[in-house]
Amino acid sequence: MNLIKPALALPLALTLLSGCSAIQSLMPGGATASARLEATKGNVAGGTVTFKAGADGLMVHARITGLKPGQEHGFHIHEKGDCSSGDGMSTGGHFNPGGHKHGAPGEERHAGDLPSLKADANGVADVRFSVKGVSIGTVGTDVVGRGLIVHAMPDDYKTQPTGNSGARIACGVITRS
C-alpha cells in the first residue's frame, strides 16, 4: 500500500528536512551568533567574535587586532546594540539581567562580564572560553541585539559597576548567525 504519491515524495522530504534544521537551530548546541567589532573614534582595534550555545553555556571565540601589545583589555557584553555614538557609550552599561555586582568570571557577576582579552606581542588576542549566565534565544539572557565592547585597560573585576577598564576602543552588535 503506497500512501505517498511519488510526485509528492521529494517536496515532502525537503519540507521535513527544512523543519528539522529549524528545530535544530533552536536546540542547545545549534544556536550561533556573532559580532563584528570596529574601532571607536581615535582607535584601531577591531575583529570578530562568535558565540555558540553548548551544554555548559556559550562557547566564545574572539579574535581582536589593534590592541596594545602584551596588555589585558576588559571585554563586556553591554545592554544596547548601538554603536552609533562613536565612543561606544551608546551601548549603555554591562548586560546585567540578574541585578548582580560587577565581578570576575566564575563568581556572581553581571551576565555581560567576560574574561579580559590578553594581547600578544603583535597586539592580537585570539581566545576561546565558555561563559555561563547568557544565551542565544532565551528570553532574559539572550545576547542577540546586545553591544559588545573591548576596553583600553584591564578589568580589575572589583570596581563597581565597570571594573575600571577605561575607554571603549572597539564596539560591535551581536547578531544571530
The model's pTM: 0.82
On whether residue 3 sits in a domain, the answer given is no
Tell me what the pLDDT averaged over the chain comes to.
87
CATH number at residue 138: 2.60.40.200
Instruction: Indicate if 102 belongs to the active site.
Output: yes
- Is residue 112 assigned to a domain? yes
Q: Is residue 17 part of a domain?
A: no
Cross-strand bridge partners of residue 60: 51, 129
Is residue 45 situated within a structural domain? yes
Whether residue 162 is predicted with pLDDT greater than 50 in this model: the reply is yes
What's the CA dihedral at 35, 67, 76, 89 to 10 degrees? -90
Q: What pLDDT score was predicted for residue 4?
A: 52
pLDDT range class, residue 5, cuts 50, 70, 90:
low
* Domain membership flag for residue 66: yes
Question: Does 168 map to a domain?
Answer: yes
Average pLDDT over residues 80-100: 96
State which residues form the domain around 51.
28-176
Catalytic residue among 76, 142, 146, 155: 76
Specify the residue for cell string 563597581. 160
Q: Is 94 a catalytic residue?
A: yes
Q: How many domains does the chain have?
A: 1
pLDDT 10s digits, 105-160? 888 999 999 999 999 999 999 999 999 999 999 999 999 999 999 999 999 999 99
Residue 41 φ then ψ, to 5° = -55, 125
Extract the C-alpha cell encoding 6.
511519488
Measured in whole angstroms, how far is the alpha carbon of residue 53 from the centre of its chain? 11
Model pLDDT, residue 57: 86
Is residue 14 in a domain? Answer: no
- Note if 76 is an active site residue: yes
**Is 78 labeled as catalytic in the residue annotation?**
yes
| Catalytic hit among 73, 109, 110, 146 | 110
Which residues 6+ apart lie within 8 Å of 134 measured at CB?
57, 58, 77, 95, 111, 112, 141, 142, 143
For residue range 166-177, list pLDDT tens digits in order.
999 999 999 999
Q: Is residue 81 part of a domain?
A: yes
pLDDT of residue 15: 43
Neighbouring CB atoms inside 10 A of 72's CB total: 18
Active site residue 113: yes
Active site residue 110: yes
Annotated catalytic residue: which of 78, 142, 146, 155?
Answer: 78
DSSP for 109-132 reads: --TTB-PPEE--TTS-EEEEEEES
Q: What is the pLDDT of residue 82?
A: 98
